[in-house]
A = this chain, B = another copy of it.
Amino acid sequence: MEEFFQEDVISIRDMDSEKLESIFGATEKILRMPPDSRRKITLGRTLGYLFFEPSTRTRLSFQAAMAATGGTSLGIADVTSSSTQKGESLADTVRIMSIYSDVLVLRHPSDGSSRFAAEVSDKPVINGGSGTEEHPTQAIQDLFTIKREKGKIDGLNIGIVGDLKYGRTVYSLLYGLGNYDVKIKKRLSFTESASLEDVIDDLDVVYVTRIQKERFPDEEEYLKVRGSYVIGLDMVKRMKSGAIIMHPLPRLDEISADIDRSRNAKYFKQAEYGKYTRAALLGLILNKNGF
């Protein structure tokens, strides 16, 4: 377990399947632990968060992971609108936060920001989403969800529904899936040629992403796609019985609320696993001999 102790988590591309299995194993352990034992994992430790892009969801997932394992969180939820800035460099902000905490989470719009932060920080840095491609803890959460809900990752047919253009979530997932023997169908949609309808009955995992409004040239075009781009009961009926539907959340209209209770809908489970995979990762980083 020492492979993660005091190590940074910068990119999912640094993780091979062996490392991923270590994290999955630690997550399974936490899921089976009685709450009293969980609360010793990060007891007395402090997570420092620095979000240069606000992301309430990711921040709360980390805070919940610390709280469930006995630790504390503090930091800045929106650095750019914070008084901290006053023109301060990223290096200085990171250095100071590394004094106030035992492990850092950094969310930043720039590629390379986390690697840079890790160089100047005295404490391990976790990339909480950076640039266009990197969101390693989201990828770990997604891979764990597939593994746990399907029992395996190798051999699966995985469809990615929606736009990939600005999706660091999808890019990170694709990099992570590179460790496994999977067939991936990307950019599935209702409006493009490689359409979801054509392949739905062949997929084991349907990974739906949010439509990025800012990508569309005009509002009308956006609304047309937004309206057509919905996973509903009709689609679920055509899926394999054990197939699962995932979504990084928040969702808008991409998934109809009436399938939330179907056996296939796993996006809330996915959010729950996000808390526990993060707890596992934090536990491995903060404890020399694991937990």
In the docked arrangement, what's the CA distance between A92 and B39, Å?
27
A168-176, A201-209, A227-235, A268-276 - the one binding chain B = A268-276
- How far, in whole Å, are A168 and B93 apart by their CA atoms in the complex? 22
- Measured in the bound complex, the distance between the Cα atoms of B51 and A83 in whole Å is 12
Which of A20-28, A59-67, A148-156, A178-186 contacts the other chain?
A: A59-67
- Assess whether A95 is interfacial by the CB under 8 Å rule: yes
Tell me the bound Cα distance from A85 to B55 in angstroms. Answer: 10
Task: Report B-chain residues with C-beta under 8 Å of the C-beta of A271.
Answer: 95-96, 99
Chain B residues with CB below 8 A from A72, complex form: 67, 72
User: Which residues of chain B are near A36, meaning CB under 8 Å?
Assistant: 44
Judge if A193 is at the interface, Cβ distance under 8 Å: no
Taken together as a complex, chains A and B put the C-alpha atoms of A231 and B76 apart, in Å, by 29
Q: Given the interface contacts A72-B67, A249-B92, does A61 sit within 8 Å of B268 by beta carbon?
A: no
Q: How many copies does the complex hold?
A: 3
Is the pair A46, B74 in contact by a Cβ cutoff of 8 Å?
no
Cβ A70 vs Cβ B99 within 8 A: no
Chain A 120-143, CB within 8 Å of chain B: the 1/0 string?
Answer: 000000000000000000000000
Of A8-16, A215-223, A237-245, A250-258, the one contacting chain B is A250-258
**Bound form: Cα–Cα A229–B99 in Å:** 27
B83:A55 contact, CB within 8 angstroms:
yes
- Residue pair A250, B64 in contact (C-beta under 8 Å): no
Q: Which residues of B contact A60 (CB under 8 A)?
A: 74-76, 96-97, 100
Q: Is A189 an interface residue (CB 8 A)?
A: no
On whether the beta carbons of B251 and A88 are closer than 8 Å, the reply is yes
Which A residues have a C-beta under 8 Å from some C-beta of B?
Answer: 35-36, 39, 44, 46, 54-57, 60-61, 63-64, 67-68, 70, 72-76, 82-89, 91-93, 95-97, 99-101, 210, 249-252, 257, 268, 271-272, 275
B-side contacts of A82, CB under 8 Å: 54, 56
Please measure, in the bound complex, the distance between the C-alpha atom of A88 and the C-alpha atom of B86, giving whole angstroms: 29
Give CA–CA (A32, B80) in the complex, Å.
36
Inter-chain contact A64/B101, CB cutoff 8 Å? yes
Q: 18 A-B residue contacts at CB 8 Å? A: A36-B44, A54-B82, A56-B84, A60-B74, A60-B75, A63-B74, A63-B100, A67-B72, A67-B74, A86-B210, A86-B250, A86-B252, A88-B250, A88-B251, A89-B257, A92-B249, A92-B251, A96-B271
Q: How far is the CA of A87 from the CA of B250 in the complex (A)?
A: 8
CB atoms of B99 and A252 under 8 A apart: no
Question: Given contacts A44-B39, A275-B100, are A74 and B83 in contact (CB under 8 A)?
Answer: no
Q: Choose among A85, A87, A275 the residue with the greatest number of B CB atoms under 10 Å from its CB.
A: A87
